[in-house]
Amino acid sequence: MSEGLETRVLFRHIDEPGLHEIGTYERLGGYTALRAAFKEREPGDLVSEFEASGLRGRGGAGFSMGKKASFLPQGDMAKYLCCNADESEPGTFKDRELMFKNPHGLVEGVAIGAMAAGATRAFIYIRGEYAEIADRLDAAVAEAYDAGYLGEDILGTGIDVHLVVHRGAGAYICGEETALLDSLEGKRGNPRLKPPFPAIQGLYDGPTLINNVETLMNLPNVVNNGADWFKGFGTEQSTGTKVVSVSGCVQRPGNYEVELGIPSRDIIYGLAGGPPEGREIKAWYPGGSSSPVLGPEELDLPYSFEAMADAGSMLGSGAIIVADETVSIPKMALRTARFYQHESCGKCSPCREGTNWTVKMLERVVRGEATPMDLDIVASVQENIIGHCLCVLGDAMAMPVGSMVRRWRAEFEEAIASARDAGPAPLDVEPAVMTPAGVGA
């Protein structure tokens, strides 16, 4: 299963022709885990196995999957499973490739997760932009119903799981789990106050398990091979493999599945080819655009939840965005901030106003209208957002932007000075752009 630096578990058959069809999927061993889970296992014992595997959420927060499932109350009430396929964190495109090429892998994972959680209704909330992926999922769900893997009395066990693919319509905030629930209930996607947590009171006020696509796709492997096998990959606190999306200034952008804990350098250089010949890495987001930005000094850190947290950042969604020496950090900060400004749902003032302010201040920096003192204001705005809102969308801007202003402050000051000296300039002029043909040229 190991191809050099890669360890392909979820990606084992990823480019097998026809994998998205049930016949091929079954021929390659698909749905054996579902059979075993439904026919031979008890929900409680599955949840314990998931917990023992150490599997942590792959959607951003890295919470123990089994533990979360164990929070759902026992008993005969309507419970739900929601698969978070919103995948809108900039830099992240792993769920897209997993779902498009292996939709049955997700259907099987969702069914097993639902059965373990005691949920009879499951939903895959997929971002609206992923229309061609959602079409694939719809087809796979229909095939699974026909084959008796979904629906009523699955494989004669008396257990029901109904699965609906629900398409969103373009809003990053709907990836936040409580906003996702509101959106799925047919409302505007505003986050809810927590507690109550969704495990207690979620969709339609019922206990709800929410997990990311990749998290759920790991379940069939855990069922088939056991928790100890799963723990054989990765580090003690970061078990298993991870599909890492690498993009930006690298020669081979794409998804690579690795054991958690391998050196970050191996992913960025060994697999993704590093920056174009002759250029150096200046900065990298280790876990999507919401993660505090790291520098070349951290390239040798293990790529694990704990090492990234110790370095003051996070593994997040497992998306590495690489910036080489030609990229202006102030402009990258502005690009980052604009995203959160656009996506803020506007419910909480610190986020709504803070993202807006940050964009305006960074525009002044890039235009040369700011003073170095303004950088202190940018930094303090970030501090005033963190921890003050219903959800962490605002924090997700404040962390990377704050990290950039702190770490590359000299470059921000230089940007102010040189833009001022150059006189008024249009805001969006970019210096070195890596056009596809231009990389390395």
Which entry of another protein, ligand FMN, none binds 143, CB below 5 to 8 A by partner kind?
none
Site for another protein in 146-165 (CB under 8 A): 164
Give min distance, CB of 296 to ligand FMN, in A. Answer: 28
Max CA-CA distance within the chain? Answer: 76
Taking alpha carbons only, the member of 152, 56, 150, 68 closest to residue 110 is 150
Is the Cβ of residue 8 or residue 409 nearer to another protein in the bound state? 8
Indicate which single residue of 143, 176, 343, 395 sits in contact with another protein (rule: CB under 8 A).
Answer: 343
Q: Is the dihedral of CA 293, 243, 308, 273 positive or negative?
A: negative
Is the Cβ of residue 20 or residue 242 nearer to ligand FMN in the bound state? 242
Indicate which single residue of 54, 60, 253, 394 sits in contact with ligand FMN (rule: CB under 6 A).
Answer: 60
3-state secondary structure the chain: CEECCEECCCCCCCCCCCCCCHHHHHHCCCCHHHHHHHHHCCHHHHHHHHHHHCCECCCCCCCEHHHHHHCCCCCCCCCEEEEEECCCCCCCCHHHHHHHHCHHHHHHHHHHHHHHHCCCEEEEEECCCCHHHHHHHHHHHHHHHHCCCCECCHHHCCCCEEEEEEECCCCHHHHCHHHHHHHHCCCCCCCCCCCCCCCCCCHHHCCEEEEEHHHHHCHHHHHHHCHHHHHCCECCCCECEEEEEEEECCCCCEEEEEECCCEHHHHHHHHCCCCCCCCCEEEEECCCCCCCCECHHHCCCECCHHHHHHCCCCCCCCEEEEEECCCCHHHHHHHHHHHHHHHCCCCCHHHHHHHHHHHHHHHHHHHCCCCHHHHHHHHHHHHHHCCCCCCCHHHHHHHHHHHHHHHCHHHHHHHHHHHHHHCCCCCCCCCCCCCHHHCCC
Which entry of ligand FMN, another protein, none binds 392, CB below 5 to 8 A by partner kind?
ligand FMN
Does the protein bind ligand FMN through residue 211 (CB under 6 A)? yes
Does the protein bind another protein through residue 335 (CB under 8 A)? yes
Site for another protein in 376-405 (CB under 8 A): none
Give min distance, CB of 58 to ligand FMN, in A. Answer: 5
Does the protein bind ligand FMN through residue 87 (CB under 6 A)? yes
Q: What track of x and - describes contact with another protein for positions 189 through 208 (by CB under 8 A)?
A: xx-------------x----
Q: Side-chain half-sphere of 233: how many Cα atoms within 13 Å?
A: 26
Q: Select the span of 172-180, 276-284, 329-337, 360-368 touching ligand FMN (CB under 6 A).
A: 172-180
Is the Cβ of residue 190 or residue 212 nearer to ligand FMN in the bound state? 212
Which entry of ligand FMN, another protein, none binds 111, CB below 5 to 8 A by partner kind?
none
Q: What track of x and - describes contact with another protein for positions 60 through 99 (by CB under 8 A)?
A: ------------------x--------xxxxxxx-xxx--
Structural tokens at position 251? 């020669």
Is the Cβ of residue 207 or residue 253 nearer to another protein in the bound state? 253
Is the Cβ of residue 62 or residue 168 nearer to another protein in the bound state? 168
Give min distance, CB of 276 to another protein, in A. Answer: 8
Does the protein bind ligand FMN through residue 208 (CB under 6 A)? no
Interatomic CA distance for residues 412 and 342, integer angstroms: 23
Give min distance, CB of 374 to ligand FMN, in A. Answer: 27
Site for ligand FMN in 364-403 (CB under 6 A): 391-393, 396
Give min distance, CB of 218 to another protein, in A. Answer: 17
Indicate which single residue of 1, 77, 142, 169 sits in contact with another protein (rule: CB under 8 A).
Answer: 169
Q: Select the span of 51-59, 379-387, 415-423, 428-436 touching another protein (CB under 8 A).
A: 428-436
Does the protein bind another protein through residue 53 (CB under 8 A)? no
Does the protein bind ligand FMN through residue 61 (CB under 6 A)? yes
CB 144 within 8 A of CB 22: yes
Does the protein bind another protein through residue 435 (CB under 8 A)? yes
Indicate which single residue of 86, 108, 143, 182 sits in contact with ligand FMN (rule: CB under 6 A).
Answer: 86
Name the residues that contact ligand FMN, by CB under 6 A: 57-61, 63, 84, 86-89, 173, 175-177, 210-212, 215, 391-393, 396
